[in-house]
Amino acid sequence: MSEHKIVVIVPTYNEKENIVLLIPEIKKHLPQADILVVDDNSPDKTSMAAKEVGEKYSGVYVLDREAKEGLGKAYVSGFRWALQKGYDLIFEMDADFSHDPAYLPDFVAAAQEHDLVIGSRYITGVNVVNWPLSRLLLSYFGNVAARCIAGLQIRDCTGGFKCFHAHTLRAIDLSKVTSSGYSFQVEVNYYVQEQGLSIHEIPIIFKDRVHGVSKMSTAIIREAVALLWKLRLKKILSFS
Ligand SMILES: Nc1nc2c(ncn2[C@@H]2O[C@H](COP(=O)(O)OP(=O)(O)OP(=O)(O)O)[C@@H](O)[C@H]2O)c(=O)[nH]1
Ligand SMILES: [Mg+2]
């Protein structure tokens, strides 16, 4: 389907039960893709579990980081690794099965035409299954805020199921990305939009995790609110 060299980056923190199931599922749906697990020294030994399963397949790598620094820092390390290895298409994907690997080929197809493809929960109504109402409202209004305050033209600005062309990641200055939590998604989308690159959303159904625990915290929410106002200010200053 595609001649592209593909890697799926999966950041992990205490995702042992999920990662051993996810690696085979990714290989089933997109056999030509390599996988990079970026683990922040998970106490549950996710890294070791990923390496054990990975030995059964070709092209499964684990990037071991020393300490938990948040999803954003893990992705920036993964992006740098992938760019250095010469991948053409670079995926972001959560380990917790909220992102169904069956969608991976749809992203590759859409990436033939676009610089960034985003799996979106909010283009055909609200496609979220089993999330508590409080979590859904936080996500939904977080997205409304990202659109209104930071001026993003994307319906799902905070989702983490994405496929970047290498040239898209090269066009943004990764050393400028400051978010460590999940506002990382908003920040990267902002820089891609700022470059005038083509962003396309495809519908996905998002399911709540079954195994493991969420890493969402009030610190992550505070960081996200501060980021939106920082981007708003940046936008105002760029017009003056
Ligand atoms: N390497 C690394 N991965 C992380 C860190 N924090 C979260 N992750 C991973 O990032 C992905 C998304 O994290 P989740 O805990 O599912 O957070 P979320 O999807 O925003 O929130 P939920 O609604 O609870 O699922 C998962 O694969 C996590 O294991 C971190 O500090 N370091
Ligand atoms: Mg999750």
pLDDT tens readout for residues 21-78: 999 999 999 999 999 999 999 999 999 999 999 999 999 999 999 999 999 999 999 9
What is the spatial distance between Cα 119 and Cα 165, in angstroms, rounded to a whole number? Answer: 15
pLDDT confidence band for 112 (50 / 70 / 90): very high
Please enumerate in sequence order all residues whose Cβ is within 8 A of that of 178, keeping only pairs 6 or more positions apart, or say none: 72, 187, 227
From 128, 215, 218, mutation site for ligand 1 pocket: most ligand atoms within 8 A of C-beta: 215
Q: Is the pLDDT of residue 1 over 60?
A: no
Which ligand is in closest contact with the Cα of 95?
1
Looking at residue 200, its pLDDT comes to: 98
Looking at residue 2, its pLDDT comes to: 60
CB of 39 shorter than 6 A to ligand 1: yes
Length of the chain: 240
Q: What atom of ligand 1 comes closest to residue 95's alpha carbon?
A: 27
**Rounded average pLDDT over 110-138:** 92
**Better pLDDT: 116 or 237:** 116
* Angle in degrees, CA 139, 143, 148, rounded to 5: 150
Q: Which of 3-7, 127-131, 148-152, 214-218 has the lowest mean pLDDT?
A: 214-218
Domain 6-239 has CATH 2.40.180.10: no
Share of the chain above pLDDT 90, in %: 73
Residue 26 — φ and ψ, nearest 5°?
Answer: -65, -45
CB of 15 shorter than 6 A to ligand 1: yes
**Which residue has its alpha carbon closest to ligand 1 atom 22?**
214
* Contact (Cβ atoms closer than 8 angstroms) between residue 122 and residue 143: yes
CB of 92 shorter than 6 A to ligand 1: no
* Angle in degrees, CA 59, 188, 155, rounded to 5: 105
Give me the residue spans of the domains in the chain.
6-239
What mean pLDDT, rounded, does the chain reach?
A: 94
pLDDT confidence band for 214 (50 / 70 / 90): confident
Q: Is the pLDDT of residue 213 over 60?
A: yes
Three-state SS for 128?
strand
Q: Is the pLDDT of residue 235 over 60?
A: yes
